[in-house]
Amino acid sequence: MTYYYEGFPQSERDEYIKMVNVDQLEEEVKKIMPEGAYYYIASGSENEWTWRNNTTAFNHYQIVPRALTDMDDPQTDTEFLGMKLKTPIMISPIACHGIAHKDAEVATQKGAAAAGALFSSSTYANKSVEEIAAAAPEAPRLFQLYLSKDWKFNEMVFDAIKKAGYKGILLTVDALVSGYREANIRTKFTYPVPLDFFTRYSGAKGQGQSVAQMYAASAQKIGPEDVRRIKEMSGLPVIVKGVCCAEDAYKAIGAGADGIYVTNHGGREIDGSPATIDLLPEIAAAVNHRVPIIFDSGVRRGSHVFKALALGADIVGIGRPYLYGLALGGPKGVESVLNQLNEELVIDMQLTGCKTIEDVKHAKIAHIPYTADNLPSNTSPAVVKPYPKTDENQIKTVGDSDAVSGASKH
Ligand SMILES: Cc1cc2nc3c(=O)[nH]c(=O)nc-3n(C[C@H](O)[C@H](O)[C@H](O)COP(=O)(O)O)c2cc1C
């Protein structure tokens, strides 16, 4: 089930994915995705220190189990900027979903809508904002803006997203230039599928452009005045994406931001910047509930979502995992990834007596510096190897029954 766009293979799948955890999708996706495309998604910048720490730093915080909570059936529905959602897990904006699937962002939007999750489109989407909106007309969605140096381009974008019913703008301020992403240089990566807004503005497809070339077309100089101007011109709420300290949260709110998005772009910009989960408590204290907070970078577990909510986030974004889901299962694959993380979250809610997402935001988190972070776990894809098969470790079928317990038959 592969379609070729000018020779580039795109998945055409639409099927649920069985998984034990979302990490395992990384290896699976390599089997159907060209190397340059895979590394464009998977890699971080320079030595990938920040990319690695985004996930491992969740271990700096621990969820305290609660007893005698007299509670069952936790519910994950929540609200964000007046939008009703079935889960606090959001689709973070990612460029060029056509790398993963023939139906690109249209397929992702369908999967997100089926899971009741908030979707966001990148300025560098392959599909038009109208096509994406038509895929799930009632579903809530936001638009991510790479501000252009050319305000006529910006105006065209604002008109289109307003008409298409987008509910707000994520203004990306942490990627004024691309981080030094060695994998893209090594594989000579260029966008293989045209990007809608570039095609419609200039006729130039954006296809065949390198990541650095695309960034060069957007503004390197963005200040508080731009936040005000975008709000005024678009008439939409503006959330500043890429806030990593309290000072910048104050600055953004002072400029009229309607929300703060704590992210380090998934470790793709400054390598050596802190993991975002370590920055969240300081920023949440500075924001002090004046505006909502979106958080992302490194989220791979329901427990990571739980910790981010408990440390001050209102919505928690995922990036790479849903793109792997898109490649491996199309719309249903995206839904599978969101459901997997949500189900893990529900387990932690039950075990901490949190009936609602509001309860999770008040859950008890410990901050104890353990030192076992780098020990491999049984669930790590690097550690899971084929289980040895011996005469002694096989379960024997008894009578007609296939029912076995305690271990698997090979
Ligand atoms: C392949 C890829 C492309 C991305 N494209 C964009 C983009 O166009 N605009 C943007 O604001 N962020 C972009 N991001 C950053 C994501 O919005 C998000 O912050 C990040 O993926 C979260 O980290 P995670 O992948 O570890 O979950 C991109 C990330 C990846 C992995």
Domain assignment of residue 341, yes or no: yes
Arithmetic mean of pLDDT over the chain: 93
Angle at 191 between CA 45 and CA 152, to 5 degrees: 100
Catalytic residue among 97, 265, 289, 410: 265
CA distances 195 to 11, 74, 191, Å, are 18, 41, 8
Contact 45, 271 (CB under 8 A): yes
Ligand 1 center–CA 264 separation, angstroms? 9
Helical (H) or strand (E) element with 152:
helix 151-163
Query: Closest ligand 1 atom to the C-alpha of 263?
Result: 19
Model confidence at 405, in pLDDT bands (50, 70, 90)? Answer: low
Give the CATH number, domain containing residue 150.
3.20.20.70
Alpha-carbon gap, residue 97 to 370, rounded angstroms: 38
Could you tell me if the CB of 144 is within 6 A of ligand 1?
Answer: yes
Could you tell me if the CB of 88 is within 6 A of ligand 1?
Answer: no
Domain assignment of residue 135, yes or no: yes
Domain assignment of residue 317, yes or no: yes
CA distances 279 to 60, 242, 249, 341, Å, are 12, 12, 12, 22
Find the mean pLDDT for residues 363-382: 76
Nearest CA to ligand 1 atom 4: 94
Ligand 1 center–CA 400 separation, angstroms? 52
Dump pLDDT digits (tens) for 270-284. Answer: 999 999 999 999 999
Could you tell me if the CB of 41 is within 6 A of ligand 1?
Answer: yes
Could you tell me if the CB of 320 is within 6 A of ligand 1?
Answer: yes
Ligand 1 center–CA 320 separation, angstroms? 7
Domain assignment of residue 390, yes or no: no
Number of domains composing the chain:
1
Could you tell me if the CB of 172 is within 6 A of ligand 1?
Answer: yes
Domain assignment of residue 25, yes or no: yes
Domain assignment of residue 154, yes or no: yes
Paired tokens of 23:
């990490």
Domain assignment of residue 129, yes or no: yes
Dump pLDDT digits (tens) for 128-184. Answer: 999 999 999 999 999 999 999 999 999 999 999 999 999 999 999 999 999 999 999
Nearest CA to ligand 1 atom 28: 94
Domain that holds residue 337: 2-366
Domain assignment of residue 405, yes or no: no
Model confidence at 211, in pLDDT bands (50, 70, 90)? Answer: confident
Q: Which of the listed residues 54, 58, 94 should we mutate to test ligand 1's pocket, taking the one with most ligand atoms within 8 A of CB?
A: 94
Told to judge if 265 belongs to the known catalytic residues of this protein, a careful annotator would answer yes
Could you tell me if the CB of 189 is within 6 A of ligand 1?
Answer: no
Could you tell me if the CB of 340 is within 6 A of ligand 1?
Answer: no
Ligand 1 center–CA 40 separation, angstroms? 11
